[in-house]
């Protein structure tokens, strides 16, 4: 593809060298079934165990609280459907936000169609739901609260600990689930400090392969499994474990380095990008200064997202459109934040990785200036 500037890391990331190396080793040498009792099975099981420990270390939890899944969506679905199924006799209210990833929102809508009372919390102008709204939404009949750690479009960090406190204060029989896909590997996460019972992560957002995720499930929590069969993952997810993908995830974790150092670099890059973009005189910033600095949502008001995206692509710069629907509807996240239709229609999401450089931001700013000179302004 030649030299590209990739600023769509919240969508997916390029697999890192260690991830690819581990996958190849698994495919070529560790191809046994990790459930088999013979030597080839044991050899395949060892890296699966080590990978589980690596994920647990990042989440500050026990290794036996980590269950491998195929992706963040499966982890989210398992949590939402599992809690609703296992606790429906204890209450009928479930609480989430209006800005969740579709894998949570669509699961809640399905539960709403099945008779559950669903509360959708709205964010403020910075994209954050308030602790007070969470507390008001949780009552004695609440069985599930599901709130994302980091919003995938704006980077807004949500008050997860406040949700845990609200559940405790209310005495509700609720479990707390957190979609941490966008925060995993990018910010320190301690499941005990957050107070969560369930937490979802994914591999391909941190330079691991697609097709691998994990669900943290607090010791003592039990959920019905979505997949039954051979009883893998302690009965939670039957099906032969994908050793190559699991090892790929472990390789990505190995290459992360120091998360706090990476976060500091990302913040510096985020501020640089914000200032450079504002200096063009073309851009409005939709992300809060308190957002996770791997995501910067902007609007080039007066120019629709899709033509901008494709113009940038022609320059070898890859970003994400603010449009969340193939039918051309604007981002529901930005709408829920109260942004005008003009800002929503012209939104772009820039998402960085630890490999993103300031020179790439300079090139983006130059290309955006060219785009506004060549594209037709929309009234």
Could you tell me the CATH number of the domain that includes residue 50? Answer: 3.40.640.10
Q: How far apart are CA 182 and CA 205, in angstroms?
A: 7
Q: How far apart are CA 26 and CA 20, in angstroms?
A: 10
Structural domain includes residue 379: no
Per-residue pLDDT, 376? 78
| Domains contained in the chain, number | 2
Q: How far apart are CA 33 and CA 41, in angstroms?
A: 5
Q: Rounded mean pLDDT of the chain?
A: 95
Per-residue pLDDT, 327? 46
Give the mean pLDDT of 4-17.
97
Catalytic position from the list 16, 84, 178, 325: 325
Q: Domain check: are 42 and 174 in the same one? A: yes
Domain boundary pick from 205, 231, 254: 254
| 61 catalytic residue (yes or no) | no
Which tens digits make up the pLDDT trace of 166-202?
999 999 999 999 999 999 999 999 999 999 999 999 9
Domain boundary pick from 234, 254, 274: 254
Which tens digits make up the pLDDT trace of 105-137?
999 999 999 999 999 999 999 999 999 999 999
- Whole domain around residue 93: which residue ranges? 17-254
> Residue 315 in contact with residue 233, Cβ under 8 Å?
no
Structural domain includes residue 248: yes
Q: Domain check: are 243 and 273 in the same one? A: no
Q: Which helix (H) or strand (E) holds 351?
A: strand 347-351
Q: Domain check: are 318 and 232 in the same one? A: no
Two structure tokens written together for 52: 């589980």
Percent of the chain past pLDDT 70, that is, above it, reads: 97
For the cut 70, the answer to whether the pLDDT of residue 1 exceeds it is: no
Give the mean pLDDT of 295-305.
95
Q: Which helix (H) or strand (E) holds 118?
A: strand 117-121
Structural domain includes residue 159: yes
Give the mean pLDDT of 295-322.
94
Q: Domain check: are 146 and 201 in the same one? A: yes
Q: Domain check: are 234 and 168 in the same one? A: yes
> What length is written for the chain?
379
């Amino acid at each position: 593809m030649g030299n590209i500037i990739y600023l769509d890391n919240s969508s997916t990331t390029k697999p890192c060298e260690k991830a690819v190396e581990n996958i190849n080793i698994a495919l070529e040498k560790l191809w046994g079934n990790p459930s088999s009792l013979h030597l080839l099975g044991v050899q395949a099981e060892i890296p699966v165990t080590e990978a589980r420990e690596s994920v647990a270390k990042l989440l500050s939890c026990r290794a036996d609280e980590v269950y491998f899944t195929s992706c963040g969506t499966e982890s989210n679905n398992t949590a939402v459907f599992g809690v609703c199924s296992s606790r429906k006799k204890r209450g009928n209210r479930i609480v989430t936000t209006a800005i969740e990833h579709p894998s949570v929102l669509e699961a809640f809508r399905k539960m709403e169609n099945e008779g559950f009372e669903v509360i959708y919390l709205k964010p403020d102008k910075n994209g954050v739901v308030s602790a007070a709204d969470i507390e008001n939404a949780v009552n004695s009949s609440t069985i599930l609260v599901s709130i994302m750690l980091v919003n995938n479009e704006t980077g807004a960090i949500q008050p997860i600990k406040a949700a845990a406190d609200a559940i405790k204060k209310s005495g509700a029989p609720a479990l707390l689930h957190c979609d941490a896909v966008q925060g995993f590997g990018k910010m320190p996460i301690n499941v005990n400090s957050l107070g969560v019972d369930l937490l979802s992560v994914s591999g391909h957002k941190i330079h691991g392969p697609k097709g691998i995720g994990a669900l943290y499930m607090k010791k003592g929590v039990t959920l019905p499994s979505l997949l039954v069969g051979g009883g893998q993952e302690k009965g939670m997810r039957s099906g032969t474990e994908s050793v190559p993908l699991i090892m790929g995830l472990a390789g990505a974790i190995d290459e992360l380095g120091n998360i706090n150092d990476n976060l500091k670099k990302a913040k510096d890059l985020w501020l640089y990008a914000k200032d450079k973009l504002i200096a063009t005189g073309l851009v409005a910033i939709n992300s809060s200064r308190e957002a996770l600095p791997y995501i910067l949502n902007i609007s080039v008001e007066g120019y629709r997202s899709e033509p901008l995206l494709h113009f940038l692509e022609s320059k070898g710069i890859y970003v994400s459109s603010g449009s969340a629907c193939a039918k051309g509807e604007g981002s529901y996240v930005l709408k829920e934040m109260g942004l005008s239709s003009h800002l929503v229609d012209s939104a772009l999401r820039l998402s960085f990785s630890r490999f993103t450089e300031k020179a790439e931001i300079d090139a983006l700013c130059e290309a955006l200036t060219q785009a506004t000179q060549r594209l037709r302004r929309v009234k």
